[in-house]
Chain A
Amino acid sequence: MKKRIILGLLVAALVFGAGAFIGRTTKKDVLITSSTAGASYSGGYEGASKSASAIRSVAGPAPTNVVVVKDGESIQAAVKSAPKGTIIRVMPGTYHETVYVDKDDIRIIGVIEAGRRAVLDGEKKLNDAILYSGNNFVAENLEIRNYKGNGIMGQAGNNFEIRNNVIAESGVYGIFPQLGQNGIVEHNVVSGIADAAIYIGMSDNILVAHNDVFDSVAGIEIENSRHAIVEHNYVHDNSGGLLAFVTPGLPIKDTVDVIFRNNFVVGNNHKNFGAPGSTVSGIPAGTGILVMAADDVVIEGNVISDNKVSGIIITDHAHAQNITADPESDPNSDRVKILENVMLNNGYDTITEAKALALADGMVSVKNLDIVRVGPSPGSCIINRHQYQAVGVSDFADCEFTNTATTINYLLPPVPPREIKPGERGRVVFLGICSGCHIYNGRMIGPPIQAIQALYMENPQGLADYIAKPQKKRDDYPEMPPQDYLDPETRLAVAKYMLQVTN
């Protein structure tokens, strides 16, 4: 009996809703657009990869030098002794350590045997599992658990590839490349993260694809980053699924050109357990996709379902909780583009603010909310708006394109390292370091260059050897500190440079 009444109410609401819908459409025909035809959006990035031979690797050719780390040994010890350009193969086992990589071309590749992985376990005592700042860094096939900070964090390393890793219960971010350019994050399974499972911070030219992210506060967050494609991910059971943000107070001031396409964004209703004060702690639990102050975000081809607050929320800094001010950042989400998406059963238990907005928009007794937009969002567009229960998009134009098919990705070909000729290296090292103590014909902390030239003119190697292990030669000068941190070639280059200086 009770059930019937509820059903009856639902039907009434539906009829009412339909009435309102029909009422509106009498003013304007429904514009139905097929995304299998029509123009393609070509993004805001000229270097976008558009051909069939799309870039799938950015870290360059794999090094040939391979070292193997076995259970009970240290990955860091291997990194430390590895020359630039080494694959570190990590055998199954448990490793309790923080691995830091401050050199280029290092690949840490887990070996999986009989279902057993190389597990980095921080035991809730260690801070981060992997910190890298080198370029061309690759991490694959690892399992990372129980760290307090991050699973894998990059600081300014470019051309990185992070794939096929399992990361669980590992602190604030699972995978967090920061200040990097040209990177791939794909086929990772990331869960139980107190902020974003995958967080792209202040980085450019990024592909985040085929990841499974769940049970975290935020699934995938693109923050103060440019030219990012987030596609084919399964993003479920987080508090918020996909995020494109501008966070104020960072040195990179905008988020531009983000494509969220072909993702499953499902049931992101997890209780928000973000740290007090963190930006993500303000995400209403039940948000599928959240765009805050980011520009040129394209939302296309996603299945967005069962997110209880809303399928998509578009907002600005002024309406976001807990957000500080940054006079150098544009607070609005400009030029959002919502293309064809499948939206089912979103906004069924939404927040008071969204209900109030719906009411103000004339949506009485609405049961679902697919899209909520608050705050200015100039230049935005949408196709097939009739499919969505939407608040605040009536002033969106109809998009002039229906798909992003011609944009394969935003990755760049691997950039070969800049070649520095010995002469240039010698000059810069001389000016940047040696000139603090030596001038051509006067006394500073060390003897004049003229005096050094008189001793070593025909013997640059002798001078190069001397600066590595100086001995006290002159009573009236302090002993020179060893310059052994310069490699032998650089020492020879700077010796040669010093011997030909003429003023």
Chain B
Amino acid sequence: MLAMALMTAVAAARSTGPASGEFILSSTCPPGFEKTGADVCELRTLYQFYPVKRGLGGTRTALPAHRDGFTPHQIDLGRYLFFDPVLSGDGTLSCASCHEPERGLSDGRARSIGIHGADAGRAAPTLWNVAFLKRFFWDARADSLETQAAGPLYSPREMGNTPAKLLASLNGNATYRRLFKEAFSSDSGAITERQVDTALAAFETSLVSLNSRYDRYVHGYDAALSGREIEGLNVFRSFVARCSECHTPPLFTNEQIAVIGMPEPAGQAFDVGAEATMGSPKLKGGFKVPTLRNIARTAPYSHSGAFTDLRSAVEFYNKGRGNAVPKGMHLYLHWHISDPKLTDAEVDRIVDFLGALTDETFLPQRPAQVPSGMTLPKRGEPN
């Protein structure tokens, strides 16, 4: 308690931050983006060479519509905010605490740890390729990056802040006042919530991963995947395993809610998921299909971390439809949840293939220091 009070006091004392001149917003777009004549950043990827239709399925398919068109300043301001603990209620957590660049933009934990050590209830989803998504959170309760941001910021189990306190801290910081002026030059007055959300969204849309070895295979280089990985790709998209029916390329998610009956870790209560969001009992235990991009980097797996490694997550699907549904509970399990009876070798090959979806070349740089001057306290190792 004393330590906490001290920390808050230290944070408050430093709220004006390091010298303002040390922070310069980048005028260039992040890697993968082209600065247009209108001084905004637009995404460029080889997938743009393929016919535009639905943006899902198969190999040489254009991507679904995405968010871009933010200015380099907005993106870089978002990066400072993302890494700055000033966004949390007590200065102990930044967005990057649960979306660490070093851990696949997730946190390596079964369930994230929020303010005062609270169990946040669910696992932190990766942020790779969120520019392409239309639904956010495991239960799909937000429909834009901007509305998503408010969730963790103000949740008492996550960052524990309030809109008023957040704006007071930012407006009380000369560096942030200057940076927001630069990033939102057409606005006047104090820093607003909308500007914070926009800057965070701008930064998050720059987190693009589309240059894995799988992508090289797609673009025509057969040797990019090993023989085992190609075997795995063919099991993955076969109609026996049916993985690609929901983890649909090129994003490896179709963004739908699926009830698959995954177990909770021991001692964890059953999570109704999208039933609560959509008010539909038929969606009890339903969660948004997560992307598999960089999946090898984001163990443990599932909405609450029931699986410690990739193989056990894949194996769950091979144990038969409904193998982990609690006794006496009826779930409307997805029709693709079947009893595929894959061989052990086929399960291994799927895991091999998933390893080919790793690409972190556009990983963002952690700022050496943030405008608030706060530093993150050392947290425990992942459990």
Interface size class of A (residues with CB under 8 A): 35 or more
In the complex, what residue of chain B is closest to A415 when comparing beta carbons?
B51
Q: Assess the A487–B60 pair: CB atoms within 8 A.
A: no
B278–A484 touching, CB < 8 Å: no
With A133-B60, A432-B211 already in contact, the answer to whether A202 and B54 are too (CB < 8 A) is yes
Asked whether, in the complex, the Cβ of B321 is within 8 Å of the Cβ of A277, the reply is yes
Give the distance to chain B from A61, nearest Cβ to Cβ, in Å: 18
Closest to A181 in B: B53
Q: Are A428 and B46 in contact (CB under 8 A)?
A: yes
Bound Cα distance from A153 to B235, whole angstroms:
13
Stretch at the interface among B3-11, B30-38, B172-180: B30-38
Residues on A with beta carbons closer than 8 Å to the beta carbon of B188: none
Within B252-269, the residues touching A (CB, 8 Å) are: 254-259
Report the number of A-B residue pairs with Cβ-Cβ less than 8 Å: 161
Selected interface stretch from A28-36, A284-292, A394-402, A435-443: A435-443
- Which chain B residue lies CB-closest to A80? B222
Find out whether the CB atom of B59 lies under 8 angstroms from the CB atom of A133.
yes
Tell whether A158 pairs with B44 under 8 Å between CB atoms, given A133-B60, A324-B283, A325-B282: no
Within 8 A of B (CB), among A90-110: 98, 100, 102-104
In the complex, the answer to whether A432 meets B238 with C-beta atoms within 8 Å is no
Interface residues of A in 193-220 (CB under 8 A from B): 202
Complex CA–CA separation, A124 to B146 (angstroms): 50
Q: Which residues of A contact B302 (CB under 8 A)?
A: none
**Cα A176 to Cα B56 with chains together (Å):** 16
Q: Find the residue from A133, A135, A156, A487 having the highest chain B CB count within 10 A.
A: A156
A415: B residues at CB distance < 8 A? 51
A149 touches B60 (CB 8 A): no
Tell whether, in the assembled complex, residue B222 and residue A156 are in contact, meaning their CB atoms are under 8 Å apart. no
Cα A463 to Cα B321 with chains together (Å): 54
Taking the closest CB of chain A, its distance from the CB of B171, in whole angstroms, is 32
Scan residues 360-380 of chain B and give those whose CB is less than 8 A from a CB of chain A.
Answer: 361-362
Please report whether the interface of chain A is mostly helix, strand, loop or mixed according to DSSP: loop
The contact of B361 among A247, A275, A436, by CB within 8 Å, is: A436
CB of A249, distance to nearest CB on chain B (Å): 5
Distance A157 CA – B51 CA, assembled complex (angstroms): 11
Q: Say yes or no: A251 contacts B49, CB within 8 Å.
A: no
Bound complex: CA A425 to CA B339 (Å): 44
Report B352 CB to chain A, min CB distance, Å. Answer: 16
B219 within 8 A of partner (CB): yes
Closest-by-CB residue of B relative to A154 is B58
Q: In this assembly, does B237 line the interface, its C-beta being within 8 Å of a C-beta of chain A?
A: yes
Among the listed B33, B238, B321, which residue makes an inter-chain contact with A128, where contact means beta carbons less than 8 Å apart? B238
Most chain B C-beta atoms within 10 Å of own C-beta, residue among A127, A150, A153, A327: A127
Contact, CB under 8 Å: B58 / A133: yes
Q: Tell me, rounded to whole Å, the shortest Cβ–Cβ distance linking B293 to chain A.
A: 15
Q: How far is the CA of A154 from the CA of B59 in the complex (A)?
A: 11
A433 touches B211 (CB 8 A): yes
Query: Which residues of chain A are near B56, meaning CB under 8 Å?
Result: 156, 179, 251
Given the complex, which residues of B lie within 8 Å of A150, measured CB to CB? 238-239
Q: Which residues of chain A from 404 to 457 have any CB-CB distance to chain B below 8 Å in the complex?
A: 415, 418, 420, 425, 427-429, 431-433, 435-437, 439-440, 444
Does any Cβ of B come within 8 Å of A252's Cβ?
yes
CB pair B256–A418 under 8 Å, yes or no, is: no
In the complex, what distance in Å separates the CA atom of A425 from the CA atom of B44? 10
What are 8 contact pairs spanning A and B, CB under 8 A?
A127-B235, A131-B234, A134-B59, A155-B58, A156-B58, A324-B259, A431-B34, A485-B216
5 more A-B residue pairs beyond the given contacts A156-B56, A277-B335, with a C-beta to C-beta distance below 8 A: A100-B230, A127-B239, A158-B51, A171-B240, A485-B221
